[in-house]
A and B are shown apart, each in its own frame.
Chain A
Amino acid sequence: MGKFGFAISKGRQIDYEANDRRIAEYILEHEPSFRLCIECGGCSATCTTGNFTRFSLRELHILIKRGENDEVRKNIGKCMLCGKCILVCPRGVNTRNVVVLARQAFQKYDEYAI
């Protein structure tokens, strides 16, 4: 296929096999409460940054879990670490630490550090 100049398009699927799940594993190891997230969206609803730009912590959580790291890497720096999300989360997930750990994980594993 490559000889003809075609490349197989990536498609819209979440390729669970191919995705790099080390970021998720790093976070899960250091913040076990992350497992409890049910993506209810309370965190995104109250988010300070979410008021100003397209930033959904809930979305980033689920992308991390599935290993879709590109989107996360681009956006994770926008968090102001204000902590309102922790005050809202009904499951007691330490969402703020998830953001900080994600940044650390990117530093550690990614060639393209933030």
Chain B
Amino acid sequence: MNWDVVVVGGGTAGMEASGQLAKAGYNVTLFEKEEEAGGHLKNWYHLFPDRRDGEEVITYLNDQINNDNITFYKGSRIDHLEKNEKKFIIKTNEGKEMTADAIIIATGFDLFRSERKEEYGYGIYDNVITSADLEKRFRTGDMKMNNGEIPRRIGIVHCVGSRDEKVGNLYCSKLCCVTAVKQAIEISEWLPESKVFCFYMDIRMGGALYEELYMESQEKYGVNYIRGKVSEVGESFTNSLIVKVEDTLAGRPLKMELDMLVLMAGMEISEGSKKIGKALGLKTGENRFFQSRDNHFGSNLSNIDGLFYAGTCTAPMNITETISHARAAVLDVMDYLKDGRR
């Protein structure tokens, strides 16, 4: 029973799936387009809900793929992908060609490019950064503004690129709210003299220990929450940022100057996923993520037999869910191959 399984995408889902498959005795080939495995997880500092170091999870995942049954190709992009009868044919940009009996697509997500939300001023005004930029700064410890000063007042804008008909993403990216709360706490720890203001439409704390984190942010760190969608961002004469927002709970417009603004960018299906989806004719939902065959008991199944999904290429999900999803994909693969690829 020497089945060959290919896993496309060396992020959290891809690595976990490869590891579990290898442990079960399958021949796994893992392709990753970057020079290092780990996906977006590499860029994150600490993870919610318990604020543990992301490095620890990366170490765990690297251990998973450290297995003789796994052949790991980094810097490899899939150029050509097709299904021929029962086998999948894969060609990479380096000219490698191979076949597989089953394939797991774990190509993940891209962050919403905040330049598209022009009125928030990303790339236009100084000191407007995204949540991803902020995570990088936590790593390097550089929390200063462009002019070298410490920001006294930092604003966080929720729902940038999510729940927004104007950019074509009606869905909620699920993780940004809890990320905002986490980052608010982290900013407060790095800059104890500074104040953080979160501008939200809703505070969605839909996970274990999330609500407790929210309460901690208020109680211990004094993070302020203002319910109101930021309509536009401007610059004052002194180069500080002005947000135009209505404090809906007070029922009045708010005038506030901020030194720095953090945009919580949402998740979109990755470019790589789109290409593969087009090549194979994979069904996508209205939110443009891959559509699973069944929402409840078939979330790893695609519209092609033998091709399975793992991770955020199907929907926004956190690390815990991604790892669970990857393991579930492996079970589906095992089921499929056990029945002789029916």
Contacts and interface: CB of A to CB of B under 8 A. Distances in A.
Partners in one complex: yes
A46 B244 contact: yes
Interface residues of B, number: 22
A45 B253 contact: yes
Given A41-B229, A88-B229, 16 more contacts: A39-B248, A40-B201, A40-B228, A40-B248, A41-B227, A41-B245, A43-B231, A45-B228, A45-B231, A45-B246, A46-B231, A46-B244, A59-B251, A90-B201, A92-B165, A92-B166
B163 A45 contact: no
Interface in B156-189: 159, 163-166
A89 interface: yes
Interface string A30-46: 00000000111111111
B201 A56 contact: no
21 contacts: A38-B202, A40-B201, A40-B229, A41-B227, A41-B247, A42-B228, A42-B231, A42-B246, A44-B248, A44-B253, A45-B228, A45-B232, A45-B245, A50-B253, A59-B251, A88-B119, A88-B166, A89-B166, A90-B159, A91-B165, A92-B166
A87 B166 CA distance: 7
B78 interface: no
B65 interface: no
A103 interface: no
A58 interface: yes
Contacts, number: 63
A87 B244 CA distance: 14
B230 interface: yes
A97 to B, nearest CB: 15
A87 B232 CA distance: 11
A45 to B, nearest CB: 4
Contact of A41 (B119, B159, B163, B228): B228
A90 B163 CA distance: 6
Interface of A: 38-46, 50, 56, 58-59, 84, 87-92
B249 to A, nearest CB: 9
Kindly list the 6 A-B residue pairs having the minimum CB-CB distance in the complex, ordered from nearest. A46-B231, A42-B229, A92-B165, A41-B246, A45-B231, A41-B248
Interface string B286-322: 0000000000000000000000000000000000000
Contacts of A59: 251
A39 B248 CA distance: 8
B278 to A, nearest CB: 27
A90 B166 contact: yes
Contacts of B247: 41
Nearest to B232: A46
A39 B247 CA distance: 11
